[in-house]
Copies of this chain bind each other. A is one copy, B any other.
Amino acid sequence: MIEKLLKTRNPKSPNSSKFPQIMTRKSSLLKQTLILSAFTVLIIYVSFNTFLSYFTTTATAGVSATTSSFFAEQISRENFQEFPVKATGYERKVRVFMHDLPKKFTTGIIENHGLARGYSNLSKVSYPGHQHMGEWYLYSDLSRPESDRVGSPVVKVNDPEEADLFYVPVFSSLSLTVNPVQVGKVPVSDPVYSDEKMQDELIEWLEKQEYWRRNNGRDHVLFAGDPNALYRVLDRVKNAVLLLSDFGRVRSDQGSLVKDVIVPYAHRINVYNGDIGVDERKTLLFFMGNRYRKDGGKIRDMLFQLLEKEEDVLISHGTQSRESRRTATRGMHTSKFCLNPAGDTPSACRLFDSIVSLCVPLIVSDSIELPFEDVIDYRKIAIFVDTESSLKPGYLVKLLRAESTERILEYQKEMREVKRYFEYSDPNGTVNEIWREIGQKLPLIQLMINREKRLVKRDSIEPDCSCLCTNQSTLFTSL
């Protein structure tokens, strides 16, 4: 590594023998730099000394409080004092290698998406804006030169041998929508593009890769933002870290909070840039979206029936279109609360629209999972109501009307604080936070890799699982 560094010097001074010459020419500037640097070092030294003495004082006080003098003496006899400050590797950044996928799994899908919509100039098609475009942002991030990525929690490496983790940048969600939905029409019998074929070919490609095979995919990362993405091959990639919106279509042996990362949808509504406040938010509760959904989403029609008669509630059926997005933007920017019921699966893009609109989410989706929940306490930005309670006549509006202006302002303030977590285009936003979450999985991934290789066959044919459980009976409720 050091050799490599020495070989690839700064292109602005490619010849190392020129170095003294540069020093002479820039000696005046250098002198100033030297003095400045020296003072910086001095200040750091003084601060550090002060810092250490603070700890020594308070911590020693701590010992005598909890330990009798004899045991304290025993403790000081231990070898500990000679502790050497060693690099433990603990704070090293996680290293990621992006697989050089054949084009048909990445930008080729963008081109196919354009072709299917009649674009003739393929050299100008770009990744289309939609709620699952996170896959584009992660691909873009790892495609940038490393010098643009200095603040990222992970380092991109160009040699797979140096990698801790492997990113497979397939556009699995875009692939689902390459063929335009033709409402009411007979499906084209022989469509040009096949998502299923793409999935099968991806597995075929992956299973040929040395680094995938090495650990059965455990150290690989794949984006499957749309609940239907990769549905056909989920069992073949289930060892990998999956970037998912929820576990709605994923079996518990295919995905879990322990193994995978919940990622936010890309919001589709413009960020509300006004100040916090309720004066411009006359509507109590707003919802616009599909009234009729499968599974957990059946609750939507019931909520419509309960709420549409309320005067300060704006609830309307609407499907995806530029026009409805305009209406929704207006609605979310002028309402105090935004209803977030379950869709076909527990999560929906609307939650992130609500947050960037500073419209307090009212979440009615019992099995929802939320992104970055290790660092975000969602009770500070949203109200959670269980499905059963939400269907009691009058319950929801009574609950919301009882929220004070002060409390709403607190929610709004907190939403403004965490907004960057839901901004894929923010240089310190969603992309970095997803990498941070992925990086945190590494110790368990490495444990599983080492452990699986030395395990011997046991009598049991039951899967050998390590779990983290929540006891339902001890749960808090929002009631």
Contacts and interface: CB of A to CB of B under 8 A. Distances in A.
Contacts of A20: none
Contacts of A90: 153, 436, 439
Interface in A54-97: 54-63, 65-68, 70-72, 74-76, 78-86, 88, 90-91
Given A56-B146, A143-B72, A463-B471, A476 B447 contact: no
A478 B461 contact: no
A390 to B, nearest CB: 9
Contacts of A15: none
A53 B148 contact: no
**How many chain copies does the complex carry?**
2
A140 interface: yes
A56 B472 contact: no
A10 B143 contact: no
Contacts of A270: none
B467 A465 contact: yes
B144 A5 contact: no
A150 B85 CA distance: 7
Contacts of A59: 144-147, 156, 158
Contacts of A127: 74
A432 interface: yes
B472 A428 contact: no
A446 interface: yes
Interface residues of A, number: 147
Nearest to A57: B8
A280 interface: no
A443 B433 CA distance: 13
B5 A50 contact: yes
A65 B101 CA distance: 11
B148 A83 contact: yes
A38 interface: yes
A321 interface: no
A452 interface: yes
A324 interface: no
Interface stretch (A175-183, A249-257, A411-419): A249-257
A417 to B, nearest CB: 14
A5 B41 CA distance: 18
A131 interface: no
A50 B6 CA distance: 8
Interface stretch (A281-289, A298-306, A332-340, A373-381): A373-381
B158 A62 contact: yes
A83 B450 contact: no
A308 interface: no
> Considering the complex of A and B, which 4 residue pairs feature the smallest CB-CB distances, nearest first?
A386-B456, A55-B146, A37-B41, A59-B146
Interface of A: 4-6, 8-12, 30, 33-35, 37-38, 40-42, 47, 49-63, 65-68, 70-72, 74-76, 78-86, 88, 90-91, 98, 100-101, 103, 106-107, 110, 123-124, 126-127, 137, 140-141, 143-153, 156, 158, 216, 252-253, 256-259, 366-367, 370, 373-379, 382, 384-387, 425-428, 432, 436-437, 439-440, 443-444, 446-448, 450-478
14 contacts: A9-B50, A10-B53, A55-B145, A66-B100, A83-B428, A85-B150, A253-B467, A253-B469, A257-B466, A373-B447, A382-B454, A448-B468, A452-B470, A465-B467
Given A34-B34, A448-B470, 6 more contacts: A5-B54, A9-B53, A10-B50, A66-B98, A370-B451, A463-B472
